[in-house]
Structure 1
């Protein structure tokens, strides 16, 4: 790893910056940390993850219920909350307690007092229980459940602690039907989807799911069996694909 990047990652870990969401999502202030990823040094949040924000702008509408599984600092959560209005809402799920506090810090801002956004500090997996959660030695965006493979971006593990795990179907019982689910869980997406049989069958939300290569066959089969069409959201060409890509858009038929 280049020495400059290594130094930036060490310096960034405890920093928190105040930024503003793009105007089309309400222009509200939120806090971010480059300890999650170095891209959060940027001033313009619209350039942090344009594909993610394009998804929100395309599919999230007033009154929608949105679940953000692996919320990180809440970029999608706050973008969606700026569009759902008082009749909708957002559930941000993030097991990293430091990132949860960043989201809560944003919610404590007066300008965000009217947002319908809840934060749940748990992991989503295939069963209700307790699991171990690895904090990445590099950016916290690469944190992952110990039972998942994780990604090449972790740089090892700095610490591990126990977390409560819930399932998509448990969330369905407690929070009602979601219209939109985004999943970014660093290799644990197969576990998330295994716990969502009723969500797939009864709620039938739109999914945006980050899919690792080793989980692609399973995720592809699961969506097809539940009568979903799969698209490559990064390509943005509206052409269905057979195998779930890294940025999988799944639409109910």
Structure 2
């Protein structure tokens, strides 16, 4: 068995300690702090303003208008969801988070900010089929994925495998379960192409602005192919630090 590089070992220990403290804070609801992003404020049980400096988040907030709908795919504990909901009292958000443990943490943050009437939480996955699929829960909560290779990246390991309902965004919109989005954020640890493949009717008919976080190609999941799909739908991709801001074609 190969030993870890000392820096990798240190990183693993720091991440493990961080997630242990975060889980304990959520479990006992001990400490909340106010996070600030572009003049928007909200509270959460996160120990620091995780993702608060994301260029994709700043782009989303700058593009939002009253009465619009945001679908946050891979919502995690809710930085994008909470910031969007806090930006205007008529913004509606659908937060999608398949990791049951993380979804509970997100629900706690939604309650903390009293956003229950405007934020809908879906604990399914989004992909290119309406089916049940194996989800790999990582010991680094943020890395949970339908891709086992992504769930075990960065010295992480797979803590549990569970069967989770996967839905196509097209199916959810067509059934009326989710309103047509004006903005679609996707951060799903290597599974982004599959999310887009299940949302082609939404892209074609409703033309949301996209905020797409790109992850390394692992185990056959190569999100660079998503760029071709988006361009085929007439989107203009603007590279930013985390991925792409994707502007829809003119109506």
1:216 deviates by: 4.0
Equivalent residues, number = 229
User: Given the two structures, how large is their TM-score scaled by the length of structure 2?
Assistant: 0.82
1:205 aligns with 2:208: yes
1:15 aligns with 2:24: yes
Aligned to 1:227: 234
User: Given the two structures, how large is their TM-score scaled by the length of structure 1?
Assistant: 0.81
- Residue among 121, 124, 135 paired with 1:122: 124
The CA RMSD over aligned residues, in Å, is 2.4
- Judge conservation of contact 2:128–2:196 (CA < 8 Å) in 1: yes
1:66 deviates by: 0.1
1:113 deviates by: 4.7
Gapped regions of structure 1 (runs ≥ 5): 33-40, 235-245
Aligned to 1:144: 145
Matches within 5 A, 1:167-206: 167-173=168-174, 174=176, 175-206=178-209
Gapped regions of structure 2 (runs ≥ 5): 1-8, 26-30
Matches within 5 A, 1:1-253: 1-2=9-10, 4-5=13-14, 8-9=17-18, 11-12=20-21, 14-16=23-25, 17-22=31-36, 24=38, 26-32=40-46, 41-42=47-48, 45=49, 48-86=52-90, 88-109=91-112, 111-113=113-115, 116-137=118-139, 139-146=140-147, 149-150=150-151, 152-153=153-154, 155-173=156-174, 174=176, 175-214=178-217, 215-234=222-241, 247-253=243-249
Change (3 A) 1:47 1:225: closer
1:134 deviates by: 0.7
Aligned to 1:239: none
